[in-house]
């Protein structure tokens, strides 16, 4: 055990704080898992939905470029210009669908739908090229080119819309699941922290009572026993801190008081013995004086005592009438 109560108290407080901190870190770790799940949702279904929206937007721009070819491409230069922009948009759509296919590698159903959409878009490109050829063959007649591709983009557009809706529903479901899990984690974490704080407080209180309060109360009771003159037992010294030194001081005080009390009892006994002896001596001396006074017959009468006529004067010493005359009392 430490040699200082200050270090013991600091160690106890530090241990309690570290324990609460570890519990809080564990709760934050569980919350970080929910954060990672949100990040996975952003990088997964939501990002896939964004890619589908981007592909759908690029596809609509591609269709608009096809209309530019039909309406503004009568001249070969203008036709090549708008057709080049059409092919650029076609490439952007394929790139977006390719990224979506790579990202959906772990989801076989989603990857199959994306691959089907890419194939449908390639087929659509072949149809648009046939329409361009019909447009050129008709001498730049937009009706001929439009009739060649009429309704071919409807299937691809519907597939993209369905894919976007499916990804959004999946994202919403995942978001609700993650939100519920996060709320449950926060609730459980809060309860765990509260229970842990209570348990740490109770443990700290128990340790303080066992290591500080109980020894101090024991020393107080021991000192109270010493004040009542009970010097039987000694305090067991098992510590090396301030309380241990206080116990040593209490034992030293006990030894001093016990020795002083023993000496006082011995002195009192000696005084009682001496007093008895003095009383006996005084009694013997008093008896000796009385015997000597009676044996000597030298009782003297008080001169100031008045006697009744016909009575013997009483002696002051013996209280009886001894019949001695005034001349005898005066020595004549």
pLDDT at residue 328 greater than cutoff 50: no
Give residue-wise pLDDT tens across range 282-312.
Answer: 888 888 888 888 787 654 444 444 444 544 5
Give residue-wise pLDDT tens across range 25-47.
Answer: 887 777 777 677 666 666 667 77
Q: Considering the domain boundaries, does residue 221 fall inside one?
A: no
Q: Considering the domain boundaries, does residue 79 fall inside one?
A: yes
By residue range, what is the domain housing residue 172? 5-201
Q: Considering the domain boundaries, does residue 228 fall inside one?
A: no
The first and second tokens of residue 128, run together, are 């648009």
* Coil/strand/helix, residue 314: strand
Over residues 5-14, mean pLDDT: 80
Q: Considering the domain boundaries, does residue 291 fall inside one?
A: no
Question: How many structural domains are present in the chain?
Answer: 1
Q: Is 75 within 8 Å of 23 (Cβ atoms)? A: no
Q: Considering the domain boundaries, does residue 279 fall inside one?
A: no
**Spatial separation of the C-alpha atoms in residues 289 and 305, rounded to whole Å:** 24
- Residue 302, Ramachandran bin (φ over 0: left; ψ between -120 and 50: alpha; else beta): beta
Instruction: Report the run of H or E that residue 225 belongs to, with start and end.
Output: helix 214-227
Single out the residue of 182, 188, 206, 180 nearest to residue 23, CA to CA. 188
pTM to 2 decimal places: 0.49
Q: Considering the domain boundaries, does residue 164 fall inside one?
A: yes
- Res 298: pLDDT: 52
Q: Considering the domain boundaries, does residue 18 fall inside one?
A: yes
Q: Is 229 within 8 Å of 261 (Cβ atoms)? A: yes
- Res 65: pLDDT: 92
Q: Considering the domain boundaries, does residue 297 fall inside one?
A: no
Give residue-wise pLDDT tens across range 171-186.
Answer: 777 778 877 877 887 7
Q: From residue 37, how far is each of 186, 189, 211, 222, 314 by CA, in Å?
A: 15, 17, 47, 64, 132
**What CATH code is carried by the domain that includes residue 53?**
1.20.120
């Amino acid at each position: 055990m430490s040699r200082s109560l200050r270090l013991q108290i600091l160690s106890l407080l530090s241990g309690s704080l570290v324990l609460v901190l570890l519990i809080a870190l564990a709760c934050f770790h569980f919350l970080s898992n929910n954060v990672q799940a949100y990040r996975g949702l952003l990088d997964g279904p939501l990002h896939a939905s964004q890619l589908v929206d981007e592909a759908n937007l690029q596809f609509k721009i591609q269709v608009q470029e096809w209309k530019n070819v039909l309406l503004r491409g009568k001249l070969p230069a203008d036709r090549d210009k708008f057709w080049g922009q059409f092919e650029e948009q076609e490439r952007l759509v394929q790139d977006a669908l390719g990224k979506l296919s790579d990202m959906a590698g772990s989801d076989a159903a989603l990857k199959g739908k994306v691959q089907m959409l890419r194939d449908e878009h390639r087929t659509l490109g072949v149809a648009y090229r046939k329409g361009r050829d019909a447009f050129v063959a008709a001498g730049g007649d937009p009706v001929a080119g439009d009739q060649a591709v009429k309704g071919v983009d409807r299937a691809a557009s519907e597939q993209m819309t369905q894919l976007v809706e499916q990804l959004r529903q999946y994202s919403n479901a995942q978001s609700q699941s993650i939100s519920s899990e996060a709320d449950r984690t926060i609730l459980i974490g809060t309860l765990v922290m509260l229970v842990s704080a209570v348990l740490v407080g109770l443990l700290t209180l128990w340790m303080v009572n066992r290591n500080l309060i109980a020894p101090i109360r024991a020393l107080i009771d021991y000192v109270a026993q010493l004040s009542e003159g009970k010097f039987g037992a000694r305090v067991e010294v098992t510590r090396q801190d301030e309380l241990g030194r206080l116990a040593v001081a209490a034992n030293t005080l006990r030894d001093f008081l016990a020795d002083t009390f023993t000496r006082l009892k011995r002195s009192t006994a000696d005084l009682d013995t001496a007093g008895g002896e003095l009383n006996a001596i005084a009694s013997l001396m008093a008896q000796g004086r009385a015997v000597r006074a009676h044996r000597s017959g030298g009782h003297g009468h008080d001169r100031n005592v008045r006697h009744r006529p016909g009575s013997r004067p009483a002696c002051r010493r013996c209280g009886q009438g001894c019949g001695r005359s005034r001349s005898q009392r005066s020595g004549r």
